[in-house]
Amino acid sequence: MPSFPGSPRLFKGAIVLLDSISFSPKGMVTLQYNPETLRRTLQVQRSGNDGGDRLEALRLTAPPIETINLEAEIDATDQLEFPAKNPVTVVSGIHPQLAALETIIYPKSSKIQQNNVLAQSGNLEIVPIEADLSVFVWSINRVLPVRLTEFSITEEAFDTLLNPIRAKVSLGMQVLSTNDVRFDHKASSLFRFHHQQKEAFAMLNLGLNALGAIGSLL
């Protein structure tokens, strides 16, 4: 059924992949359905411990460690209703969508082969494989460099060939801050923009009336 022509266009959350060296776009994984909830946790980074030096009580050593958790749904039911238009789904189910997410945390198979050749040739120092930079996009106001830290998939339905056709994917991500990467890294510049944007939003919340009310209490 076609949507109402005057309805607003839905912005879908996504994970954009950038080359870790050139930062050129490598791909994008769009969430089929936006999750209804998004859980964010911020762990304060400060100097000293509880009961430590009183002079250090208000000192912050770095941006907080922010983690994001969400649960996304992938469902091929709509595509399977029109098999002629979706031959890949008919043959493979939602394997392509799941693979697009899973390969974010897999090293490239070609790199594994290259490292094996280096090891067999007697190379004593093999640099660990660097993954693409993942950027979590959740509206134009939240574009964050992230590292996937948790990943679980619950496949809930299958076709006659046992291809999954419906699944829930739980993702856990840690936001990469200026404390995690080089200052000149693309991830660092993305985080700095996010940090500055957050400060700008905070200023919008501090109206003149609110400042006056606070001032009267001090």
Residue holding tokens 């709509």?
78
Mean pLDDT for 28-34 is 93
Q: What is the pLDDT of residues 163-205, one digit of tens each?
A: 999 999 999 999 999 999 999 899 999 999 999 999 998 888 8
Amino acid at position 75, single letter? D
As a whole number, the mean pLDDT across the chain is 87
Amino acid at position 124, single letter? L
Out of 29-33, 74-78, 196-200, 212-216, pick the least confident: 212-216
Q: What pTM does this model have?
A: 0.83
Among residues 173, 123, 117, which one has the least CA distance to residue 143? Answer: 173
Domain ranges of the chain: 23-211
Q: Which pairs with CB-CB distance under 8 Å and at least 24 residues apart come from 2-11?
A: 10/34, 11/139, 11/140
What integer pLDDT is reported at residue 22 of this predicted model?
85
DSSP assignment of 49-87: -TTS-GGGTT-B-S--EEEEEEEEEEE-HHHHTSGGG-H
